[in-house]
């Protein structure tokens, strides 16, 4: 190989390296531009920047899940669901797309879709605590107290000091007539959160005392 050929090959290799570095810089700048636009509540501008990020060669899942988030912030729930659904297919073990779909459904008060998304999250991570509480509350309000109890118990065991999960757990037992099981739950609640919503009422019910009057009712 003569000197001229070697020089040409080195120049070509250098041009490829510079081109790759420039491309990586452009991709990073597009991502940063999207973050900056989001911080100014310019969600459409942020979405345009993340589209540019993808066009330049940015990673597909990152672009998709961010486009979903920005569409959600922009209250374009149809588009957000499309993106989140695509992201879930791109990364089947990721919970973020399902959490996103749950948030979209909550924003539209679509209870069945919230529960469906919550179940998808829990199929991946059965101990995702905030989702356990969401799913449990929906099931409780649907009077499916047994299933609600399983979610509330799991959330309670993960963080036994939290009065919210503790109270839901206790009330799911009361609603099934399991007063003896619920009694120690409300005894603990009376120690740490006696003024909590329906805590004293739950304690009275589980200890054979008169229930508290409803708000605004007779004393």
Q: What are the boundaries of each domain within the chain?
A: 21-125, 128-219
The domain 128-219: what is its CATH number?
1.25.40.10
Total Cβ atoms within 10 A of residue 67: 24
pLDDT tens for 43-96 read: 999 999 999 999 999 999 999 999 999 999 999 999 999 999 999 999 999 999
Tokens coding 62:
């990152």
Q: Are 70 and 50 in contact (CB under 8 A)?
A: yes
3-class secondary structure, 167: helix
Handedness of CA 26, 27, 31, 34 (dihedral sign): positive
- 21-125: CATH, from 1.10.1060.10, 1.25.40.10, 1.10.260.40, 3.30.450.20: 1.25.40.10
N-terminal to C-terminal alpha carbon distance within the chain:
101
At residue 2, does pLDDT exceed 70? Answer: no
Render pLDDT for 147-189 as a digit per residue (tens, 0 to 9).
Answer: 999 999 999 999 999 999 999 999 999 999 999 999 999 999 9
Cβ atoms within 10 Å of 213's Cβ, excluding its own: 10
Mean pLDDT estimate for the chain: 91
Name all contacts of 142-146 with Cβ < 8 Å and 24+ positions apart: 143/175, 145/172, 145/175, 145/176, 146/176
Residue 7's pLDDT is 58
- How far is it, in rounded angstroms, from Cα 202 to Cα 163? 13
Q: Is the pLDDT of residue 4 over 80?
A: no
Determine the pLDDT at residue 217. Answer: 41
Tokens of 97: 């797309």
Comparing CA positions, the residue from 159, 104, 106 lying closest to residue 129 is 159
**Could you tell me the pTM of the whole model?**
0.85
């Amino acid at each position: 190989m003569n000197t001229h050929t070697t020089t040409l090959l080195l120049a070509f290799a250098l041009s490829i390296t510079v081109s790759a570095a420039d491309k990586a810089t452009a991709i990073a700048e597009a991502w940063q531009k999207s973050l900056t636009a989001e911080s100014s509540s310019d969600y459409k501008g942020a979405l345009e920047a993340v589209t540019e990020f993808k066009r330049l060669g940015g990673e597909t899942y990152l672009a998709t899940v961010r486009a979903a988030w920005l569409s959600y912030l922009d209250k374009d729930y149809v588009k957000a669901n499309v993106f989140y659904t695509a992201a879930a297919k791109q990364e089947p073990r990721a919970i973020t797309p399902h959490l996103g779909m749950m948030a979209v459904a909550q924003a539209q008060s679509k209870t069945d879709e919230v529960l469906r998304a919550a179940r998808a999250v829990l199929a991946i991570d059965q101990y995702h605590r905030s989702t356990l509480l969401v799913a449990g509350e929906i099931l409780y309000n649907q009077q499916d107290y047994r299933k609600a109890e399983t979610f509330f118990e799991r959330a309670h065991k993960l963080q036994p000091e939290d009065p919210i999960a503790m109270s839901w757990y206790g009330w799911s037992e009361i609603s099934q007539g399991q007063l003896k099981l619920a009694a120690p739950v409300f005894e603990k609640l009376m120690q740490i959160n006696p003024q909590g919503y329906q805590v004293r009422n739950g304690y009275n019910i589980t200890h054979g005392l008169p229930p508290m009057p409803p708000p605004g009712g007779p004393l």
